Amino acid sequence: MTLPVRILGIDPGLRRTGWGVITATGTKVAYVDCGVVTSDGDLPLALRLRELYEGVTRIVEAFQPDEVSVEETFVNKDAQATLKLGHARAVALLVPALAGMPVFEYSANLIKKTVTGSGHAEKVQVQAMVKFLLPKAAFKVADAADALAIALAHNSHRGTHALRIKHAPMPGASALAAARIAAALARG
């Protein structure tokens, strides 16, 4: 029997960080909850990041996910906006990492392609597929729907990560192999 895996998806943003939790049992996925963590735009950056940190911490503590997936930063024309998004993303990566949870990152195009079949799908298409795949999902804002899409994308790619880990060389194995080759060459 396959054990259920609780997955938290995070769509980082300085104003609104979306979050969505699903449970995956074998090939079945079920909606758990979703929402947004917000920061007050009138506060200095450090305090806004603190609000996000505290909010994401509450989500991680409340749902105790087994795995966490976060959307990667895309670079847009506004360097300042990209930098601020990077700060919010750092919070989204740091909180679950501090809790000892594995964190995975996915590009926006891979998330869209995994959920809708098209890497350039519009937000409304992503929301429609999330609603189709998770009929009980009750998201009120696009950021929460995006976070659920991130969790769904991670669920689809979990097998790839497991294979990569299973077949990864053991730590130090390449150094040991290099030492053996060097010794053989020195003898020969």
Catalytically active residues are 11, 71, 143
**Cα(114)–Cα(157) distance, integer angstroms:** 9
Rounded Cα gap, residues 138 and 150, in angstroms: 16
Work out the angle at residue 12's Cα, subtended by the Cα atoms of residues 11 and 14, and round it to the nearest 5 degrees.
140
Q: CB burial class (10 A; 0-12, 13-18, 19+) of residue 169?
A: exposed
Rounded Cα distance between 104 and 56, Å, is 16
